[in-house]
């Protein structure tokens, strides 16, 4: 079931957070034909439209970022597990070479896109309480969903940029903090935890096949936040590993979620927003088509119904080859990769001589043997999977208690069992921890997760040794001249925002 979010231009609710502008006169002009927030929020339908606009804003992740690129690529090209097959986009090349600056369009788009989500949810949180009459149960749920989305956005922001402006009310050009200062990382995390705690207790359903936020998703995201807070940069250690273990165990024990039986179900239209997919960015071809399919395809190798096959984000051979022998996740057109596909999407099978990402492959849009593709994708983009909850529990419990318990072994072995790998057993704390990390790299690849694991752990998976290197000084296997440095632990603030708002200074170290 899809959350049918219509075009945001029809909702007329999105209050953009602008951290500096030279267009005040334009913004202050009144148009009496337009709806205004002060007069709009009067009936329950307005609350529904407002939260729908918040969900719509999350789709910035798939939005374009110059020629042959979309924003999602930023989190993959800096990990060393992905590369680009197109040389036309200098921003992609700079990310892959770790030579990006605040001028990078994707760096700017992530900042702006996340603050757009925050702007809309702030409006919802401020205005919906005043709508009367409205069913109080539903009102609390809408506010819980808004808190969930705001926490989701700030969690990305604080991990990407460190200290960021913490904006909790709608902004206008007359707001006293229209040019905000940066808030300390710990205070931002405190707000994220508060928002998710409210969402968790807002009366949301445990699961939501509609694609909206659920109680289970709120708990899963909170567990992930606690796990991150336990590591760098806050280094809160054992107490927060315990919080992460307890919260993820609640998700596991309360039931309703689980692993799909097959990897094909991860990218099937019939299983969206169900079982393993706890929260996804919603796409529906008739409303907002998934724009990422052709970007993930091999560069013009004629394997789909799309006329433009870009290859802007594809796996490195080194990472693909790092999977254990017999790992089902590396099996062609079964797991997360494909090394052959059908000519034109529906014709004779052809060998591609390189791995490509199958985890997000829309068979309906691209085509399959004897069935022409539609070249229009409704496939959602995953944000929280139950597989990650299992691995969060395994890692956190082991660190909290000093050794893995049976439940932690059950969690990691559920992941390994689906991949047809031998169960983990008899491991010490450090051995078990690294086993979990390897599963995170191999199970959660190309979902915007790996980079944040690298930063919170200050470790990077070494495909050659099957071990873990320190973050600083790690050289990418596919491009050994590209080496991670201390400055790469954060992205730079976007140059345009940094220049327009002097209160954002200083720039992140090294930029």
* Alpha-carbon span 383 to 310, nearest angstrom: 23
Residue 230 has pLDDT above 70, yes or no: yes
* Contact present, 507 and 497 (Cβ < 8 Å): no
First to last CA, the chain: 44
For residue 176, tell me if it sits in a domain: yes
Residue 56 has pLDDT above 50, yes or no: yes
What pLDDT score does 472 carry? 98
* Alpha-carbon span 13 to 125, nearest angstrom: 13
> Which of 361, 391, 357 shows the shortest CA–CA distance to 264?
361
Q: What is the mean pLDDT of residues 422-437?
A: 98
For residue 260, tell me if it sits in a domain: no
Q: Express each pLDDT in 251-284 by its tens digit.
A: 999 989 999 999 999 999 999 999 999 999 999 9
Residue 14 has pLDDT above 60, yes or no: no
For residue 202, tell me if it sits in a domain: no
Question: Of the candidates 344, 361, 379, which is a domain's last residue?
Answer: 379
What pLDDT score does 276 carry? 98
Q: Count CB neighbours of 268 within 10 A.
A: 16
* Alpha-carbon span 485 to 368, nearest angstrom: 43
Residues 6+ apart with CB under 8 A from 194: none
The answer on 330 and 449 residing in a single domain is no
Phi, psi for residue 441 in degrees, rounded to 5:
-60, -45
For residue 9, tell me if it sits in a domain: yes
Residue 35 has pLDDT above 70, yes or no: no
* Contact present, 389 and 248 (Cβ < 8 Å): yes
The answer on 425 and 327 residing in a single domain is no
The answer on 390 and 346 residing in a single domain is no
Domain interval for residue 432: 384-472
- pTM score: 0.94
* Alpha-carbon span 449 to 470, nearest angstrom: 18
The answer on 499 and 367 residing in a single domain is no
* Contact present, 479 and 96 (Cβ < 8 Å): yes
For residue 249, tell me if it sits in a domain: no
> Which of 365, 350, 356, 475 shows the shortest CA–CA distance to 85?
356
What pLDDT score does 173 carry? 85
Radius of gyration for the chain, computed over Cα atoms and rounded to the nearest angstrom: 22
* Alpha-carbon span 105 to 149, nearest angstrom: 23
> Which of 414, 394, 389 shows the shortest CA–CA distance to 405?
394
- CATH number at 442 reads 1.25.40.900
What pLDDT score does 17 carry? 37
- pLDDT category, 177, cuts 50, 70, 90? confident
Residue 319 has pLDDT above 90, yes or no: yes
Query: CA 162 → CA 75, 105, 154, 359, distances in Å?
Result: 16, 19, 10, 30
* Alpha-carbon span 480 to 469, nearest angstrom: 14
Q: Express each pLDDT in 359-376 by its tens digit.
A: 999 999 999 999 999 999
Structure tokens at 277: 């997919």
- pLDDT category, 30, cuts 50, 70, 90? very low
Share of the chain above pLDDT 90, in %: 90
What pLDDT score does 110 carry? 98
The answer on 4 and 152 residing in a single domain is yes
For residue 450, tell me if it sits in a domain: yes
Residue 7 has pLDDT above 70, yes or no: no
Helix or strand run (H / E) with residue 225: helix 215-230
* Contact present, 490 and 484 (Cβ < 8 Å): no
Residue 334 has pLDDT above 70, yes or no: yes
* Contact present, 359 and 270 (Cβ < 8 Å): no
Q: Express each pLDDT in 363-418 by its tens digit.
A: 999 999 999 999 999 999 999 999 999 999 999 999 999 999 999 999 999 999 99
Strand partners, 382: 280
* Alpha-carbon span 152 to 161, nearest angstrom: 15
What pLDDT score does 406 carry? 98
The answer on 42 and 157 residing in a single domain is yes
SS3 string of 491-509? CCCCHHHHHHCHHHCCCCC
* Alpha-carbon span 92 to 78, nearest angstrom: 10
Residue 436 has pLDDT above 60, yes or no: yes
The answer on 38 and 147 residing in a single domain is yes
The answer on 466 and 399 residing in a single domain is yes
Question: Of the candidates 353, 379, 405, which is a domain's last residue?
Answer: 379
Residues 6+ apart with CB under 8 A from 76: 82, 313, 446, 448, 450, 451
The answer on 406 and 371 residing in a single domain is no
Q: How many domains does the chain have?
A: 3
- Mean pLDDT across the chain: 93
For residue 85, tell me if it sits in a domain: yes
Residues 6+ apart with CB under 8 A from 411: 252, 390, 391, 393, 394
Residue 36 has pLDDT above 70, yes or no: no
Helix or strand run (H / E) with residue 315: strand 314-315
> 194-227: string of b/e by CB count within 10 Å (b at 16+)?
ebbebbbebebeebbeebbbbbbbbbbbbbbbbb
Residue 29 has pLDDT above 90, yes or no: no
Question: Of the candidates 379, 411, 435, which is a domain's last residue?
Answer: 379
Q: Express each pLDDT in 90-144 by its tens digit.
A: 999 999 999 999 999 999 999 999 999 999 999 999 999 999 999 999 999 999 9
DSSP three-state, residue 373: coil
* DSSP code, position 121: H
* Alpha-carbon span 290 to 59, nearest angstrom: 9
CA count, 13 A, side-chain hemisphere, 151: 29
Q: What is the mean pLDDT of residues 8-31?
A: 36
- pLDDT category, 2, cuts 50, 70, 90? low
- pLDDT category, 25, cuts 50, 70, 90? very low
What pLDDT score does 19 carry? 37
* Contact present, 77 and 107 (Cβ < 8 Å): no
* Alpha-carbon span 71 to 281, nearest angstrom: 14
The answer on 482 and 405 residing in a single domain is no
For residue 234, tell me if it sits in a domain: no
The answer on 468 and 489 residing in a single domain is no
Helices (H), 41-161: 44-57, 74-77, 90-96, 105-127, 136-161
The answer on 27 and 170 residing in a single domain is yes
Quote the longest CA-to-CA distance of the chain: 71
What pLDDT score does 38 carry? 72
- CATH number at 18 reads 1.25.40.390
> Which of 287, 284, 373 shows the shortest CA–CA distance to 1?
284
């Amino acid at each position: 079931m899809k959350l049918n979010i219509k075009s945001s231009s029809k909702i007329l609710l999105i209050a953009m957070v602008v951290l500096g502008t030279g267009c005040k006169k334009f913004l202050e002009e009144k148009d009496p034909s337009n709806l205004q927030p002060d007069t709009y929020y009067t009936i329950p339908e307005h609350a529904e439209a407002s939260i729908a606009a918040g969900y719509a804003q999350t789709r910035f992740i798939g939005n374009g970022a110059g020629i042959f690129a979309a924003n999602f690529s930023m989190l993959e090209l800096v990990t060393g597990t992905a590369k680009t097959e197109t040389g036309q986009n200098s921003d992609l090349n700079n990310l892959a070479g770790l030579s990006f600056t605040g001028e990078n369009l994707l760096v700017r788009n992530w900042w702006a896109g996340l603050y757009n989500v925050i702007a809309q949810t702030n409006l919802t949180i401020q205005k919906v309480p005043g709508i009367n009459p409205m069913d109080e149960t539903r009102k609390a749920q809408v506010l819980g969903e808004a808190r969930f989305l705001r926490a989701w956005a700030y969690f990305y922001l604080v991990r990407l940029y460190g200290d960021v402006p913490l904006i909790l009310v709608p902004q206008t050009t007359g707001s006293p903090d229209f040019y905000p200062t940066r808030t300390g990382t710990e205070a931002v995390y405190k707000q994220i935890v508060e928002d998710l705690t409210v969402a968790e207790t807002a009366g949301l359903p445990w699961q939501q096949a509609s694609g909206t936020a659920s109680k289970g998703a709120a708990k899963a995201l909170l567990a992930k936040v606690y796990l991150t807070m336990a590591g760098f940069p806050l280094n809160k250690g054992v107490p927060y590993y315990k919080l992460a273990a307890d919260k993820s165990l609640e998700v596991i024990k309360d039931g309703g979620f689980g692993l799909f039986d097959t990897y094909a179900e991860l990218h099937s239209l019939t299983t969206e927003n169900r079982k393993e997919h706890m929260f996804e960015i919603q796409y529906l071809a008739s409303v907002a088509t998934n724009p990422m399919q052709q970007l993930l395809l091999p560069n013009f190798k004629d394997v789909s119904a799309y006329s433009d096959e870009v290859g802007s984000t594809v796996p490195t051979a080194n990472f693909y080859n790092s999977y254990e022998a017999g790992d089902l996740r590396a099996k062609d057109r079964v797991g997360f990769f494909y090394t052959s596909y059908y000519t034109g999407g529906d014709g004779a099978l052809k060998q591609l001589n390189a791995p490509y990402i199958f985890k997000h492959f829309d068979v309906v849009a691209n085509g399959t043997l004897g069935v022409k593709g539609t070249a229009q994708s409704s496939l959602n983009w995953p944000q929280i999977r139950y597989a990650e909850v299992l691995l969060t529990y395994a890692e956190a419990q082991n660190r909290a208690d000093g050794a893995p318990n049976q439940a932690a072994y059950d969690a990691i072995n559920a992941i390994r069992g689906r991949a047809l790998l031998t169960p983990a057993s008899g491991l010490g704390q450090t051995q078990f921890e690294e086993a979990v990390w390897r599963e995170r790299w191999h199970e959660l690849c190309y979902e915007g997760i790996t980079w944040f694991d690298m930063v919170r752990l200050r470790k990077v998976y070494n495909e050659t040794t099957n071990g873990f290197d320190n973050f600083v000084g790690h050289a990418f296997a596919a491009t050994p001249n590209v080496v991670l440095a201390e400055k790469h632990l954060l992205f730079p603030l976007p140059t345009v925002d940094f220049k327009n708002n002097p209160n954002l200074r200083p720039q992140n170290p090294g930029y």
